[in-house]
Structure 1
Amino acid sequence: MAELSRRQFVATAALTTGFAIAVQPIAQGVIRTDAQGLRAGTVRIPVADGEIPAYRAMPAMGANLPTILVIQEIFGVHEHIQDICRRLAKLGYLAIAPELFARQGDVSKLNQIDEIRAVVAQVPDGQVMSDLDATVTWAVGASQGNGKKLAITGFCWGGRITWLYAAHQPQVKTGVAWYGRLVGNATERTPRQPVDVAAQLRAPVLGLYGGQDTGIPLDTVALMRERLQAGTSSSQIVVYPEAPHAFFADYRPSYREADAQDAWNRLQVWLRQYGVSP
């Protein structure tokens, strides 16, 4: 994506209204959560160089709401991520998912995974941390969010970001990372990985991983556990032995209903345990 003026950037950034093209066809049993009793839809977040779109869902009534950042997979803030925001809103949370690839390109319109990875590879961690900081500021200042009850959860690409942001932002009280990569090479755009920040975590993070995930070897999970034990955050990792990568993605063949439901229940208990509950 070429460098754009602020006006051009604001005008072109948008959210998809359905599922990403690359994830078609959609599984028959996909979970669809309605917006009854909610305020749900696209909002715009002021950031350092303009605005980015985000999907926000929250109860129609109430204020000073516990706030959860929901971090996308590599497919962007498509319908699955939006539905997760609505599920959390039904539980009483202000859930908000900023489109963190907005400057680099619209991955929801791409149908080849290599094309998507090429776009995502251009997204610097520093940009992501700054955009999430701006999202928190907006949620608290303009959307009835409670900055003292702030959590983060993310999936796949967003699982990695969950670990990193929990180390970056002292306002975060807790997080839940779903099958996010834990190790990797240091680059200019991605200077640190979750294993590098594990011992410094202040907020406890619950990691949810699949034992059959071919992209996240169990030895890297073991290394992360070892690094976490050297810290003081009370973070934990749960591994579902028979689950593949993306076992929570109900729109994909990788979905494993029993493991997904157990993990969703664990998320709710974890949030309550660490003071982020309605």
Structure 2
Amino acid sequence: MQHALTPIDREIERDVDSLAPGRDFSRRLFVQTSVGGGFAAAVLPVTAQTISTPADGLLAGTVEIAVGDFKMPAYRAQPAGQKNLPVVLVASEIFGVHEHIADVCRRFARQGYLAVAPELFARQGDAKAYTDIPKLISEVVAKAGDAQVLGDLDAALAWAGTQGGDVKRAAITGFCWGGRTTWMYAAHNPSLKAAAAWYGPVARSYFPGDKTAIERAAALKVPVLGLYGGADGGIPTDTLTQMEAALKAAGNSACEFVVYPDTPHAFHADYRPSYRKAAADDAWARCLAWFKKFV
């Protein structure tokens, strides 16, 4: 049975196809072997504007985090030799923890954070190896339910506490699928100090039976910064209005939405044509200021 594409799926597929028009995505041209190293097959070739943050002075690389009997791979970056660091959990896009997500971790580390990006699709398959977007969504992404993902994030946060991180000063951020995950984890873990959700859908879920962020708004007590593009074909702005209303109805007045006009989905993804430098730079500065204020 052919997988039916949602508006978000089509938005992602358009972005990916623009990297190499006419390319046959049924071929596996690239297989990622290391979490945080290289880029996912579906996004190759990357654009010339791709940002690369150096790791000198940082403790950075792949780690394993125990979740019961399962060893979950993750990418970690933090200032070398320092303790009592604020923690940032980084939730990836549908493409998993590839080089861009690792780079985001290094950017946070250079701001004094212990940043950790767990590979939340590790049980379902290698998201980085897929070239076919619908198959990636149906075979991997849609099988990673909130119960599993939120538990894995709990484990990642606890692990950070054993590595020099201060779990009492913790935040989460994430992009696209990870943006939705950011909303859901903020509702799940009220002890978080802050969250920043980058173009995460609030009116849909991926796993059958999971609730939407709007449906979980009543449980949200954490200050969340929502960063969105006004021209995102997969996230109508009226759904953000609904989310904002639901948060206010629940008594959460600390959340804030920033919508960039004429800006597409994935505007922070500097390795893709969807990247919009002005919006990305402004949103990154707002994210850092948000965490500085609350964490």
Structure 2 length normalisation: TM-score? 0.86
* One-letter amino acid of the counterpart of residue 174, structure 2: G
Provide the rounded CA distance (Å) in 2 between the counterparts of 1:114 and 1:77. 19
* Alpha-carbon distance change, 136 to 191 in structure 1, aligned in 2, over 3 angstroms: same
| 1:258 maps to which of 261, 266, 278 | 278
2:193 aligned counterpart, secondary structure: strand
Does 1:101 pair with 2:111?
no
| Alignment match, 1:157 | 177
* Alpha-carbon distance change, 25 to 187 in structure 1, aligned in 2, over 3 angstroms: closer
Runs of 4+ in 1 over 3 A off after TM superposition: 185-188
* One-letter amino acid of the counterpart of residue 231, structure 2: Q
Conserved? CA contact 1:147–1:171, under 8 Å: no
Q: CA RMSD in A?
A: 1.4
Q: Which range is displaced more, 178-187 or 160-169?
A: 178-187
| Alignment match, 1:4 | none
Q: How do 1:133-144 residues align onto structure 2 when only pairs under 5 Å count?
A: 133-141=154-162, 143-144=163-164
* One-letter amino acid of the counterpart of residue 208, structure 1: L
| Alignment match, 1:22 | 42
| Alignment match, 2:220 | 201
| Alignment match, 1:225 | 244
2:48 aligned counterpart, secondary structure: coil
Conserved? CA contact 1:247–1:260, under 8 Å: yes
Provide the rounded CA distance (Å) in 2 between the counterparts of 1:231 and 1:248. 30
1:96 aligned counterpart, secondary structure: strand
Conserved? CA contact 2:62–2:76, under 8 Å: yes
Conserved? CA contact 2:60–2:106, under 8 Å: yes
| 2:231 maps to which of 212, 221, 224 | 212
Q: How do 1:124-139 residues align onto structure 2 when only pairs under 5 Å count?
A: 124-139=145-160
Conserved? CA contact 1:43–1:56, under 8 Å: yes
Conserved? CA contact 2:36–2:101, under 8 Å: no
Does 1:78 pair with 2:95?
no
Conserved? CA contact 2:88–2:114, under 8 Å: yes
Conserved? CA contact 1:186–1:193, under 8 Å: no
Does 1:38 pair with 2:38?
no
Does 1:68 pair with 2:68?
no
Aligned-residue offset at 1:232: 2.9
Aligned-residue offset at 1:185: 6.0
| 1:121 maps to which of 120, 142, 149 | 142
Aligned-residue offset at 1:186: 8.6
Provide the rounded CA distance (Å) in 1 between the counterparts of 2:77 and 2:207. 35
> How many aligned positions are there?
261
* One-letter amino acid of the counterpart of residue 198, structure 1: A
Aligned-residue offset at 1:228: 1.5
User: Any idea what the Cα deviations from partners look like across 1:54-74, whole Å, max 9, x if unmatched?
Assistant: 000000121010000000000
* Alpha-carbon distance change, 186 to 35 in structure 1, aligned in 2, over 3 angstroms: closer
Q: How do 1:160-199 residues align onto structure 2 when only pairs under 5 Å count?
A: 160-184=180-204, 188=208, 190-199=209-218
* One-letter amino acid of the counterpart of residue 257, structure 2: I
Provide the rounded CA distance (Å) in 2 between the counterparts of 1:187 and 1:266. 31
Identity rate, percent: 53
Provide the rounded CA distance (Å) in 2 between the counterparts of 1:34 and 1:71. 21
Provide the rounded CA distance (Å) in 2 between the counterparts of 1:243 and 1:257. 10
